[in-house]
Chain A
Amino acid sequence: EPEVTQTPSHQVTQMGQEVILRCVPISNHLYFYWYRQILGQKVEFLVSFYNNEISEKSEIFDDQFSVERPDGSNFTLKIRSTKLEDSAMYFCASRRGGDEQFFGPGTRLTVL
């Protein structure tokens, strides 16, 4: 069964450093998403991506964040200068066109 994959599973970084979180969505899916979940809190929408451009972003998704689909298979989330409060699980999800989103296993980001 096809699945969304994410790498790395855990990323530790120093405050102020740049990180890139990687996702490989399901191959025939058209819509891509990033979410974050701070420990003990709810899943929060960050951004959606369709047809090689951002279709929607939340207020969390400020200039520190960017997304790319560089090669037709990977979907990346870059955080330019990490802050302590960026520590969270980051989930990638993809959707073909129906309602259901499929989530990847997540990347745990720890900012020290």
Chain B
Amino acid sequence: RKEVEQDPGPFNVPEGATVAFNCTYSNSASQSFFWYRQDCRKEPKLLMSVYSSGNEDGRFTAQLNRASQYISLLIRDSKLSDSATYLCVVNPLYNFNKFYFGSGTKLNVKP
């Protein structure tokens, strides 16, 4: 079973829409969780860390569900510039120095 699994998409949404992605992880002892954004042929960039209580940053909201072992990302009022691939990243408790990446969910925001 893969450490981190994501729906590859693509999610095609109109501007202004709300869209949500989920990511499941296999290791219940996972410690830290992140959402990164990757534009085509560019490096990953941190979008937000995901905290146990959930957290919000502007139009972006991240949630963690430890019981079901998934994290989610909600994007409200989508902009054209949100078009990218969103990567779920997990850091296991047993290894602080190793990070597992999901294969990413592609988002296309259309005018």
A residues within 8 Å of B by Cβ?
31, 33, 35, 41-45, 48, 50, 55-56, 58, 89, 91, 99-106
Cα A48 to Cα B104 in complex, Å, equals 22
Query: Complex formed: what's the CA distance from A31 to B99 in Å?
Result: 12
Sorting the interface of chain B by its residue count into under 10, 10 to 19, 20 to 34 or 35 or more gives 20 to 34
Interface of A is mostly: strand
Residues of B in contact with A (beta carbons under 8 Å apart):
32, 34, 38, 41-46, 49, 87, 91, 95, 97-104
Contact across chains for A43 and B44 when beta carbons are under 8 A apart: yes
A56: which B residues are within 8 A, CB to CB? Answer: 95, 97-98
Q: Which residues of A contact B104 (CB under 8 A)?
A: 42
Q: Is the CB of B97 within 8 A of A99?
A: no
Taking a contact as CB atoms under 8 Å apart, the answer to whether A99 and B42 are in contact is no
